[in-house]
Structure 1
Amino acid sequence: MSLSDLKHTLRKHEFPICAREALIKIEQLLIGRSAPNSKQLDIAMDITSEFIFCEADRRGSRRGLNSLQELQLIDILCDYLSACTNETTKNTIFLSLFGSTESHKRLKILSTLASMAMSASCTSVLLAVGVWLQQMGCSSPQSLQLVENLIKDHFFLNTSNQNTLKSLATTAPKFVANFITAVTELYMIDVQGVKKLPPNNLLEVITLWVYSNPTLCMSAQLNPASLPAGAIPMAAVTPLAGLIHWCALAPIYVQDECLEEVLPLKKIKIENENHSTFKCNKSLCTSELYIKLHLGVLQSLRAGRRTHGPPTAVNGQHLAALSPLVQSYAHQLVKRGIKLQNDSKLQDCLDRIGQAVQVALANGCVYGNISNLLAALDTLPENKLLRIIIKKHQQSI
């Protein structure tokens, strides 16, 4: 069927029915034993633009979807993706709709779709979003914008779906792993002299995810995405290096304040009593959350040990990037006349770097130039644990 015939058939339907029918036509064009040719790809893109996102009408004039139509489209996409039992087919269509695009309107629709999927714990949609994040690159502008939108929707306020969010690590681990990788790019950074820190709710949920699931951070690497024929798989980057940054920099970046009640009330039956009492779990201070996250990261590094093949968990260059950040803090201490070995925050930071580097190297998790990593760490202020670790590994190279 020619493009003109396809369009003529689809134009018999009003929106949103035309969008539902267009998805079927796109699947027929793109799914087969071999990769679609350039003509089929062009036809699919043309149909997507006119009949799914309504970016142009039959005369080529720009129009777009109104708010109601966007919700109708999201409902259609949820139904289609949930009913799609073949992962390759689902990812092919999803990447066709949202991949390689800088369209702000499509990204807005994708953000709403992903946000609704998080609220409803819609695994099929979230796994497709996870593949999209990986193929786009978790540090790409589009991925970071999507993740920022999800954080605004779910993590800035105490929401009623905290339990749903926490369960995503087991229901959609590849999505969660790539989500965390992108999140670590957004926080624990210095923006014009102001430290940008993760919201408390986000920190709590990520800590629970990582601490409770040692293999979570490796999920995207352990379970390669099912991609369309001819597609080039993008390397999965784990969130471990970013989380090591968070935990190491927390002592020098975070002003410790106790969080509000971040853990739910727990009903406890007291023996020999005729009534039940409600006892609140002790709330964790920010520093305690980072300590717990640090332990979770160390557990994840142990779980990331490769029994065969080269290391893939942590890029040594990313770890080495900690050095100038810590040196900057140490320089400020020196200017204030404070002895570096007497600053507990700096020493906590250096201890955590040493612990993470030791566990990562001992378990064969680090790839890249190890000599350059050790040389960068050797420029850090004096810390007994870190010196022992550096010397040990320099001798073994």
Structure 2
Amino acid sequence: MSGKSGASEISLKQSLRKIEYPSSAKDALNKIVDLICGRITSIKNMDLALDLMAEFVFLEIDRRGHKRGFPLTPLIELQLIELLYEYFNNMSNESARNTVFLSIFSGTTAIMRLGVLTKLVSVAIAIPSATILSSASAWMQQLGNTSQNSCKLAEGLIQDYFYFYNPNTSSINLVPSISPQFTANFLTAVTENYFNFTKRECIFPPKVLMESVTTWVSENPGLCIAAQQKQAVLPPGAIAMEATTPIAGLLRWTVLAPINKQDSQVYGDLHLALLNSIIEIPKVTPPKAIYAQHLTGPINPILSYVNDLRNKQELKLDQILNEDNLQLALDRYAQAIQVIYSVNAVYGHVDDLFHQLKLLPFNKLMSIVISTYKKNKVIIL
């Protein structure tokens, strides 16, 4: 049997090599679907599918299996993106489509193919395809919507739609209504790229992006939890990964904006929109909307800011505590924690979260929030 299957593999590859690109890529895709979505799947079938992707779809290897030392030409890349758009857009079976999408842009090859994926998703926004955006959303969730690959995809889309075009007149603003699940996962990835003090250089979101995000969240209170509301359709036996919502990341932006000289009306508007969104989160047991550890993000940057005020500006303790930007940041932080806790939207080590909040400089509202939590715990016990 193995001899026959080996001969058929060689025959298949030889026949594909006689066809011109991109027709060869389309025929290869058809075979890839059969191999990984058929009733009987095997490691051998998956290996062959991966070979076909590398040689005939992405032209990454030659017929001997050696890596090509040059990227796709602009013309071939354009043909490939057009082919993938048509192919995925016309695949009605969601499970099969997501299976192929995840296989083609899998973790091991995603870095090499990320440029193609970004352009494909960009086209799916420009010429709206809810189908492709749905598969891209499943891809982000399965890889992790805060993973390096998801963040790079988000970065590429921001370059396309918030630097080169006027977002107010482009199709990007239709995305929340076309695919709320994709938009939620996109927002989570975006929050990792800005106000991230764990990276070598902390950068802030461009104003046009801030305005769009604020509009999206204001007009769609359920948008932030959309990816948790509808699970991706995956092949039988696959485990769907839970989406991380963008709530904690966006709150990090609004809380830290004042102490980073980024405070403008738009951050205040986004903060209000987020509070309204949190209030609308449906109660589920156990809660799953916001992980407690993600809410600790602003603590270290706030403490660093206080140290800077003490060491660089040589302010006295009472001057630091009454500093306007610091108190505004703490007020926003306390408001968010109070609303999140009151609607039971937080899960994980909640005790640890409140223990860490005690490390912050005094803020009247935060002290009330912490003491209320303590009282409620005593009552429950």
Partner of 1:9: 15
Is the 2:142–2:240 Cα contact (8 Å) retained in structure 1? yes
Give the alignment of 1:126-275 within 5 angstroms.
126-159=133-166, 162-190=169-197, 195-256=202-263
Alpha-carbon displacement from aligned partner over 1:121-171 (angstroms, at most 9, x marks no partner) = 222222211111111112222222221111111112442664411111110
Give the alignment of 1:1-397 within 5 angstroms.
2-33=8-39, 36-63=41-68, 65-102=72-109, 104-159=111-166, 162-190=169-197, 195-256=202-263, 287-306=264-283, 308-335=284-311, 336=313, 337=315, 339-397=319-377
Is the 1:102–1:142 Cα contact (8 Å) retained in structure 2? no
**Residues 154, 354 of structure 1: CA spacing in aligned structure 2 closer, same or farther, 3 A cutoff?**
same
Is the 2:161–2:167 Cα contact (8 Å) retained in structure 1? no
**Residues 255, 29 of structure 1: CA spacing in aligned structure 2 closer, same or farther, 3 A cutoff?**
closer
Is the 1:50–1:57 Cα contact (8 Å) retained in structure 2? yes
- My pick for the range that moved more, 99-108 or 113-122, is 99-108
Partner of 1:283: none
**How far off its partner does 1:390 sit?**
0.6
For 1:356 and 1:290, the matched residues in 2 are separated by 14
Q: How many aligned positions are there?
A: 365
Structure having the higher helix fraction is 2
Alpha-carbon displacement from aligned partner over 1:356-384 (angstroms, at most 9, x marks no partner) = 00110111111111111111111111111
For 2:159 and 2:24, the matched residues in 1 are separated by 32
Alpha-carbon displacement from aligned partner over 1:260-305 (angstroms, at most 9, x marks no partner) = xxxxxxxxxxxxxxxxxxxxxxxxxxx2111111111112212223
**Residues 133, 146 of structure 1: CA spacing in aligned structure 2 closer, same or farther, 3 A cutoff?**
same
Is the 1:334–1:340 Cα contact (8 Å) retained in structure 2? yes
Letter of the 2:367 counterpart: R
**How far off its partner does 1:37 sit?**
1.6
Letter of the 2:374 counterpart: Q
Is the 1:188–1:253 Cα contact (8 Å) retained in structure 2? no
Unaligned runs of 5+ in 1: 257-286
Is the 1:374–1:394 Cα contact (8 Å) retained in structure 2? no
**How far off its partner does 1:89 sit?**
1.3
- My pick for the range that moved more, 16-25 or 160-169, is 160-169
For 2:50 and 2:152, the matched residues in 1 are separated by 23
Letter of the 2:59 counterpart: C
Letter of the 1:12 counterpart: K
**TM-score normalized with structure 2 length:** 0.91
For 2:199 and 2:154, the matched residues in 1 are separated by 22
For 1:295 and 1:40, the matched residues in 2 are separated by 52
**TM-score normalized with structure 1 length:** 0.87
**Residues 8, 185 of structure 1: CA spacing in aligned structure 2 closer, same or farther, 3 A cutoff?**
same
**How far off its partner does 1:341 sit?**
3.3
